[in-house]
Structure 1
Amino acid sequence: MVRDDSPLIVTLRLDQQSFVRFNSERERHFPPSRNLVPAHLTMFHHLPGDHCSEIAGQLASVAGRTGPLKLSIPSLRFLGNGVAYNVSGSELIDVREMIARRWSAHLTPQDAQAFRPHVTIQNKVPADAAKALYRRLSEAFKPFDVTGTALQLWRYRGGPWEAAGEFGFEG
């Protein structure tokens, strides 16, 4: 058996309609050379790859007793060099906390800090371009709801992510 310690990423899959909306905006506003993955909500950026089966087991267990997550998109977020949609939902915070507690000794500083869920639709652009998009989107923005439907596990290998598992909410 070959040991694979490539970092693991955990994301939240959104309902199809919301995913299509966010992904089409990402395709329009993200620099094409840097847009290597579809629109996503990252829950963890770097979990230990050599614990993949244990992490997958926990994700399956959590998803099996959790129903679809009702979430809201209350506002936009200016990122300095990009724009994101803020995501709000206490159930999402609870699910992430359950996973974080189990892997707390392995969390990177980025994953150990306060969780501020969002979906990035633009990044790595000049600040003036990001400010212009933020202003334009803010003028027409109205809060809306989305649904989280699954936990997704990915391997990071330096470019596009490699799927390592998906765990639908069943509870």
Structure 2
Amino acid sequence: MKGLPASSLATVPALLLAAALALPQAASARSSDRNQPMDIDAGHSDYSLDENKPATLSGGVTITQGSLNITASTAVITQRNGDPTRVVLTGAPVTLKQQMDDGTPMNAIANKIDYDLTTEVVVFTGKVDIRQPRGNLSGERVVYNMRTQQVTGGGQGAGRVKMRIMPKGARANGSGT
């Protein structure tokens, strides 16, 4: 996409790593994806050379890089000193799909994904559902700190976090595979 440097979104695959690590004993996101070209398709872009203004992609956003596939209604990228500092994906819902290094699929869905690259914290909110063959995680809010590898979750009111962890060699029912 013209006007938006690919490096602005080069760290988006880390979102998938966060989703993958949200499940105990999860595999790593496909590391070779980071070395692949990133393709971005959106109905509209609003980008300024003034990095104090965020870049906004809207009108249906699709981001692909290797096995990574992200779809969202909008993507807002904030920069500082030429580097992305925050990526906020919103949609109804945002979907993330990626193949793990071990070849298994990982699928994540949320209404909003907010990735603060400075603090390395990813916040999934609104009908969060993360699925892998070894297990599932769902709730209204899941926060993953990539530095500490701490995962917390919960929800408003009666919102609860639900997990299913399958024994080795078994596959989760309805894992989205």
Q: TM-score range by the shorter chain?
A: under 0.3
Length-normalised TM-score, structure 1 = 0.25
**Structure with the higher fraction of residues in helix conformation:** 1
TM-score (norm: length of structure 2): 0.24
